[in-house]
Structure formats: structure tokens, C-alpha cells
Structure 1
């Protein structure tokens, strides 16, 4: 079978934001900054480092300003998720380089996540995106539950295209399609991605995939075949959404990079350094990382240690 695949892709690391926001434990600010530094050292050029959501709703990311300032010297575009005007004001005040504006494809999820219907968020974000670009900030739009909502079910592709169209008309250039609850399947991802790329050729579409049903890598391949060349992922497979019941983590950055590398697709990411960043997380977390690549590496390390300590003839 002949696959039509790109020679290279961009990986946007979202672990420090989407990954940490839903963790039971609180990673200290210094450790967050160190995680971002390790991810940058692995070759990641775009990293979503935090969220300017009200600390009452996402207490794990209450230190957003400190994280942005603590990573400002790195050779990356540090993105922050921004849901509203107050969030943008906070981001501008501390010199945030990149903004991810978020709204949901369904009213039910948008109401739960942002306390307003989708139409209200759309009107506000159209203005915020323009203001941020005018201020010199790199922006992107993330459309949550683009493939299905935990409250209202399937999202019609034409409805999704209508939201994309409003942003395209306003000058947005990067739009992420988010499988927030990991409900999408490869045929759906391919069909929706191909349709939107054909209808909006000037938009750079990105995929944000969760692995709730174990289909995130398959959906990544489907996106690649549809012409998508930019993907969100989270180190260690961290993630989940407080307002998406049942959602599990993002597709693991290590797993995506390992698959793409094996397929001869360039990512610019050092797999060894990436696993070192995952080790930083694993040393803190009270349960294993959700990454097949990490589990394999950890098992190999244990095996090597056991072999080195075994008496002669017992290995």
C-alpha cells in the first residue's frame, strides 16, 4: 500500500498546559519551568506552557505569569491558552509570545468550559485574535470537541466549517481541530480534515488528539494522509479536561515522535532528550506515564540494571 505522507511535521507540545491542568498533584513552579527547558532542549520549538484561565477554575496553573517569565529566554514560541479578554490582558502584561484562543464546537461544552454559548465566545475571540496579532503575538485557534461532545453528541462537519469560516474571514491562519474526549476514529478524522483543507486552503490546520479509545496514533496517521502537518501532543501522555467527563490524556509526544521517525518523517526532536524530559515528570508523578514509548524505555532500563547486578551466569 502506498501512503501519501509529508516529509516533515511540526509538533506543538501541550503537556505543561493541557497535561498539568488536570493532574491531582501540583507541580511546583520551578519544576514546571525545568520541564519546559527540557522539552526545548529536546528540540521542540512551540510549547504551550500555561493557561491564563482564572486560578479558581484551573488552580494547577495559577502561576502562569511566573512560568512565562521563567521561560522567556528559551528559543521557543511559548504559547498560553487564553479564553477571554482578562486572559489576554494577563498574557500581554508578562510578555507572552504565543496565544491559543479556545472555544468549543458545541454550546453544551462551551457553557461548561467557558460559561457562555459558543456564539458569544466566537464574537469575543474574533476581536481578541485580531488584537493579539496586532500586538505581535503569534496566535492560533483551538476548537474543542470538534469531533464529538460529551454532552450533546456528534458535531456536524458543516457546523464546524461555519466556525472555521468566521475565523478565516477575520484573518486567522492557524486552527486546531481538537478531539477533546478521544471519540474520533480515523475515517472521521480524514474526512473532516480533508474537507476543511479543501474548503479553506489558506488555513494551516492542526490536530489535537486524545487517546481515550486508544486510537490517537491511528488518527494521527489519518490526519497525515489528509494533509495535516502539525499536531499537538503531550509529554508522557498527560492530559484530560475538567469539563470533558471520561476524557483521558493527550497522545504522548514520545509515541508520536517514535512513530513518525520510524516512518521516515522528520520532526526535529531528539528522542533521547525527550525521554529525559519524560523522566522529569515520572520522578514527580504518583502513577506511571501514559506512554508506550516511556514504558518500553523504563522497562529496558530496569532490565539493564538487573542484568548488571546479577551474578555471573545468572543473566
Structure 2
């Protein structure tokens, strides 16, 4: 690090907590609805202003989130914006009826992953999403895109920067201002992240890019730092490092929210998160899942709660 690097890091970062959706969807055991609600309430108290609370996917495919309507009915009026993942028009309609504050539209950078996940190609997804964006604008809810397998795909390998750039161009064309780029299998490395994001920031100056890293190879926080250096100020993370993708063999958990918050605070980057209250959320989650959390900060801190 040079002083130039340090002086040009962002002063503040937004963290979108995705644990209640991305973290819980892949757990072996179904978490009781009441516990999900309690966890989300604790996360709001910790300071998160945006939380991806659930998913309106067909319960047959993601049974762990079959209680989406009930969860939203108990949290929608809390002081945070609750996003829900929606894969199609039916999911969008369910989400709107449940009073979500925002919707996350999902697609994949590669056709193979897209067909396994959504049963349609990347560009077929963009076409359907384009229609749903008009609905979201009419309904007055926030919306963002979440693009899987951007930095590498378990079936096709690296999709390549040119394809990713073309997909983003299409998403901008249909109306997106917030676009999340996901390292679904944790294969990205800091040089790739820095080069790709620097270029994309220069090309799409009006877009809020959000980065979503998994820690499969232990490079999650290194990739966050590369994103920060490229000017990215929005990151997804999951409490306890929970997560994975049912349609990406070998994908492990997301970067841990506890580790991300601690890291950012240590290098004097502000978040809206209270670390003490966050660790109370971690304690609650650990009790609910009955296993150690995949978070270094939790491992260090858990003796305090013994």
C-alpha cells in the first residue's frame, strides 16, 4: 500500500446483508420461521439499512425459504429496506403482495448456469427482467440486478470480460441503475477484480456496482480490498459466512459480514453497523443453526459469550 492508495479508498461503504436469503437457502436444516424473523429483527438493530430477507422462488426448488410470505408479514414495517430475490413474474407478484421494499432480479453470466438455475438463457432472462422492471417502477419498489458466475462458472469457466461488459450494457439498456456482480464459486482474484471493476466504473459512470464474493479459496476479503481500490462502495455479505449455491457445485459460503465489518472499520472505512450488536446477531444465529459459524471474528469473539 502507498499513501496514494490509502488516501483514495472510500470513506464509507454500504453493506447489504444477504444472510437471511442467500445464507439460509442452502442450509441442511429448515430454520423455523419465528427464528428467521428474530434474526432479521436483530440485524436491523445492528444497523443494516438493506437486508435481502427471503426469496420468492418456487418452494419446490428452495424449500428452506417456503415461508417467504410469513417472514415478510412480520418485518415489512421495520426501519430497513427488505429486498427479496425474484426469478420470474410469478415470484415478482408474490413479492409485491408481501410488501417488499426492493426486489433482486437474478440472472447468470453464462448460459449453462442460467439454464440450470432459471431454465432459460442469459439473454432470455434479460428480456423477461426488462418487462418486470417496468412493473417495479410502476409499483414504486427499489430494484437491482444480481449477476451470477461473473468471475467464473463451474460449467463454462471464466465467461470473459467482454461478455460481462455486454451483459451489463444490456441491463443498463433495460433500466438498471444498481448491478451486482457475483463471484458465485469464489474463484475471482484481486487483480481480476481490480482490472474488471476499474474498467467497468469508467465505462458505466452512472451505475452503482455491488460486489458479492464467496470465500471458497480464502480470497474474499482480498477481493473486497481490490474492489475498494477500484472505487466500489457497495458489498453483499452474509452473517456467519453462511451460503452457497444449489446450482453451483463446490460453492461455499459468502464472505462473512462480521469479518467484512471488522476489516472495514480497521482501515477506517465507515459502515452503518454496530459491531457489538452484530456479534449478538451472530450469537443468535449460532444458537439457531447449532454449529460454529464460518467467521474469523466470531471464532475470536465467541469466548466472550461463553
Give the TM-score, by structure 2 length: 0.97
Q: 1:17-73: CA deviations, max 9, x gaps?
A: 000000001111111011100000000000000000000000000000111111012
How has the CA–CA distance of structure 1 residues 92 and 301 changed in structure 2, closer, same or farther, with 3 Å as cutoff? closer
Indicate the residue corresponding to 2:40 in structure 1.
36
Give the one of 50, 64, 71 matched to 2:68.
Answer: 64
Taking the aligned partners of 1:272 and 1:211, their CA distance within structure 2 comes to: 23
Match of 1:48 among 47, 52, 76: 52
Counterpart residue number, 2:211: 207
Instruction: Please state whether the residue corresponding to 2:289 is helix, strand or coil.
Output: coil
CA distance in 2, matches of 1:22, 1:287: 15
Is residue 27 of structure 2 the alignment partner of residue 23 of structure 1?
A: yes
2:233 to 229, 234, 242: 229
Gaps of 5+ in 1: 303-315
Which range moves more in the overlay, 278-287 or 25-34?
Answer: 278-287
Partner of 1:153: 157
Match of 1:195 in 2: 199
Does the residue aligned with 1:201 lie in a helix, a strand or coil?
A: coil
Aligned residue runs from structure 1 range 1-315, under 5 A? 1-2=2-3, 3=5, 4-302=8-306
SS of the counterpart of 2:226? helix
- Counterpart of 1:308 in structure 2 is none
Q: Distance in 2 between matches of 1:227 and 1:130?
A: 29
Separation in 2, partners of 1:220, 1:201: 20
Question: CA offset at residue 93 of structure 1?
Answer: 1.3
In structure 2, the gaps of 5 or more residues are none
Provide the secondary structure at the position in 2 that maps to 1:81: strand
Mapped to 2, the partners of 1:301 and 1:18 lie a distance apart of 26
Number of residues of Structure 1 aligned to a counterpart in Structure 2? 302
Q: Which stretches of structure 1, 4 residues or more, deviate above 2 A after TM superposition?
A: 299-302
- Structure 1, 130-139 or 97-106: larger mean CA deviation: 130-139
Give the Cα–Cα distance (whole angstroms) in 1 for the partners of residues 177 and 220 of structure 2.
Answer: 24
Contact 2:130/2:175 (CA < 8 Å) preserved in 1?
A: no
RMSD (Å), alpha carbons:
0.9
Alpha-carbon distance between aligned partners in 2 of 1:120 and 1:294, rounded to the nearest angstrom: 41
Q: Which has the larger radius of gyration?
A: 1
Instruction: Kindly provide the CA deviation profile for residues 119-145 of structure 1, in whole angstroms up to 9, marking residues without a partner as x.
Output: 111100111122112210100000000
